Amino acid sequence: MQDASFVPKVQSVGLNGLLVTFDNKATDVANRAAIAFRSEVDALGWPEIAESSSTLVSAFFRVDLSEYRFDDLKDRLEHVLASRDWSAPALPSGRVLWTIPAVFGGDRAPQLAEAAEAAGRSVAEAQADLTSVRLRVLTLGFAPGQPYLGTLGEAWNIPRQVGLTPNIPAGALVAAVRQICLFTKDTPTGWRHVGQSAFACFRPHSDTPFPLSPGDEVQFTAITEGELLRIEAHNSDGSGGALREVLE
């Protein structure tokens, strides 16, 4: 039986579509539910839905509500919601485990020591924390294909910086609030730069422009700056030396 406190809500987003929200704060349960629910509805192939996406806590279905009735679609989505317990869903099949090499600390990731101190960890412990856990792609956002990865241990519930770092490069791993964001492009940020990869999250000339999808898993492995330079010199496909394994 579904937990009575877990009550998903369906609402319209203007005339652009419908949003199904599983919680008002970011939790592992809400994120798993959003990913699984989106996959379930996508599999139904409703012709009214032009596109779907998921956020940290919700699933969005783009529908032209000037053409289709909101109440009818709301009833159908609520029927899917009632069909199973979304507080403990299995993630979709066909997800991918990405093993991505990255440099931690040094000139290429200069805020690892600062982040480690904020987390109450030594630099060695921080690197071990960041490379010993599989992180899930919670959502894509802010820039094309850019993943938010979680969830790190409680020690990594570190705040964002008070000010902005003016520019951090594409492929950077930045940390805050128990998450890692893997940057698609050079950008300013309030998150701390703890690692650097050559992985391209947006590949506009590829058959799969966004290699990562919500529900995929990512594990980082530590490499030296010299190894990263060698990867960058032969990285025409943007893989950055990553290994790809399809999960059951």
Domain 9-81 grouped into CATH 3.30.1360.40 = yes
| Radius of gyration from C-alpha coordinates of the chain | 19
Instruction: Please spell the DSSP secondary structure of 25-80, one letter per residue.
Output: S--HHHHHHHHHHHHHHHHHT-TT--EEEE-SSEEEEE--TTTS-HHHHHHHHHHH
Q: Give tens-digit pLDDT for 125-158.
A: 999 999 999 999 999 999 999 999 999 999 999 9
39-88 tens-digit pLDDT: 999 999 999 999 999 999 999 999 999 999 999 999 999 999 999 999 98
In the chain, the amino acid numbered 235 is: N
- pLDDT score of 4 more than 70: no
CA dihedral for 36, 41, 45, 50, sign (positive or negative): negative
* Residue range 6-18, pLDDT digits in tens: 689 999 999 999 9
Q: Where are the domains of the chain?
A: 9-81, 96-246
151 preceded by cis ω (within 30°)? yes
Q: What is the pLDDT of residue 7?
A: 83
DSSP per residue, the chain: ---TT---EEEE-TTSEEEEES-SS--HHHHHHHHHHHHHHHHHT-TT--EEEE-SSEEEEE--TTTS-HHHHHHHHHHHHTTS-TTSPPPPTT-EEEEEEEEESSTTSTTHHHHHHHHT--HHHHHHHHHSSPEEEEEE-SSTTPEEEE---GGG-PPPPSS-EEEE-TTEEEEETTEEEE-SS-EEESSEEEEE----S--TTSSSS----TT-EEEEEE--HHHHHHHHHT-TTS-TT-EEEE--
- State what percent of residues in the chain have pLDDT above 90: 93
Per-residue pLDDT at 203 exceeds 90: yes
For the full predicted model, state whether its pTM sits above 0.75: yes
Region 162-175 average pLDDT:
96
pLDDT number for residue 5: 55
Q: Summarize pLDDT for 81-110 with one digit per residue, the tens.
A: 999 999 988 898 899 999 999 999 999 999
Give the pLDDT band (50/70/90) at residue 32. Answer: very high
Q: Which CATH number fits domain 96-246: 3.40.50.150, 1.25.40.10, 1.10.3720.10, 2.40.100.10?
A: 2.40.100.10
Compute the mean pLDDT over every residue in the chain, rounded to the nearest whole number: 95
Confidence of residue 1 (pLDDT cuts 50, 70, 90): very low
Q: Is the pLDDT of residue 200 over 70?
A: yes
Predicted pLDDT of residue 88: 87
